[in-house]
Each structure stands twice: as structure tokens, then as C-alpha cells.
Amino acid sequence: MEKVLEKLRKLEGKEIEPNILKMTLNKFDFSQIDYMSYLQGRELDEYFRVVIMDGPIRVFLTVWPAQHQLVPHQHNNFWGYIAVLKGLLTETSFVFDPEDNKLSCHPPKSFRKGEVIFEPLNVIHHLQNPSPSKPLVTVHFYYPAVYNYDGVMIFDIRNRRLAELNEKAPAVSWEHPADYYRRVEENAFDVVNLW
């Protein structure tokens, strides 16, 4: 992992856009990356993140226990890449049309150890570890390095709710106190499956 971080540090002061970061990451085989020393001997049975670099790209490892998932959310102020280091990651992407109040759902895609996923600006997606018994480990590369969840929308598919987080929110979640949301809308959309 240290060689990856060295390459990323060399981007300091340069204009960073998705293709530059992609070309840098493509130089590495993420199925062979040694990352365990960054997890400080922790067990892989709980969800947690470990920031390993904070500029010019924010890099962090994420451990996903069996069947852990994030709520569907939008990246409105950052973009990046995810590399799968261990296990299987499933991503479902969506398109939200606020004029028609429709949330269109694309078929899920699965990514295996060594594969890299692009997360464009404004993507709406749901990430999860689909395994019933095995952990997932991913490494995330986000730009800009300093970001927060202010203005990020989250979606509750089952209850058709959407919320917009504010600067207090430390993560994408429906479990925050009420003052961590800029707004919450009930019956905010209908779901349309595109598969």
C-alpha cells in the first residue's frame, strides 16, 4: 500500500481529475496489495474506516462485516474510486428525477478482489457486502481530500423517504439526531426498476 500512497503524494500541486487518478491507480494490482498493517490488528467483524492519507487524495480502508451495507446515497461534493482488497462488493446505482419524483434502479453489479470502481460526482448508489459469512475490505480514493456530507442526499427505498444531510453528519445514515438533516421528505419518490 505504501507504493500506492507514494504515487498519490506525487499528485500534490497538480490538477487532479478522474483520468489522472485512474491512470495512477491502474499501475497497481489491487489483488496483491498488502494492507493488514493499516488495520492495527483489528478483527474484521465490525464496520470501520481507517484514514491512511489526507492529501492530495483522501485514502481510507473500509472493513465491511458480512452483509453490511450503506444506505443509498449521493456523492454531491466528491468523486473517487474504490478498489476491492478482499471479498466481494455489490453496487446498485440509481438515477433520481426530482421533477417526476422517480428513483430509477439499475441492476446490481458485483466487484471482486483486485477490481476498481469509479464513483463519479453526483452518483447515487448503494454499496454492500453480500456475503453471509465473509468480510469485505475496500480502499477508497476520494477527491477533494477535505469533504463533508453537507448537502448529500440519502434514500430510504422501503419507506420512500429522502433526506439531505447537513455539515454535522459524520456519515451517510438514517440514525442521526434530527438536527443532522437539512430536510427529510416522506413519500418523496416512487422506485422504477430498470431490470
Spatial contact of 87 and 134, defined as CB atoms under 8 Å apart: yes
pLDDT value of residue 41:
82
pLDDT value of residue 10:
95
- What is the distance between the alpha carbons of residues 46 and 135, in angstroms, rounded to a whole number? 9
pLDDT in tens, 8-63: 999 999 999 999 999 999 999 999 999 999 998 899 999 999 999 999 999 999 99
Spatial contact of 135 and 45, defined as CB atoms under 8 Å apart: yes
Residue with cell 455539515: 167
- What is the distance between the alpha carbons of residues 91 and 78, in angstroms, rounded to a whole number? 18
The C-alpha cell of 19 is what? 483520468
Note the pTM of the prediction, 2 decimals. Answer: 0.93
pLDDT value of residue 77:
86
pLDDT in tens, 145-195: 877 899 999 999 999 999 999 999 999 999 999 999 999 999 999 999 987
Greatest Cα pair distance, the chain, in angstroms, is 49
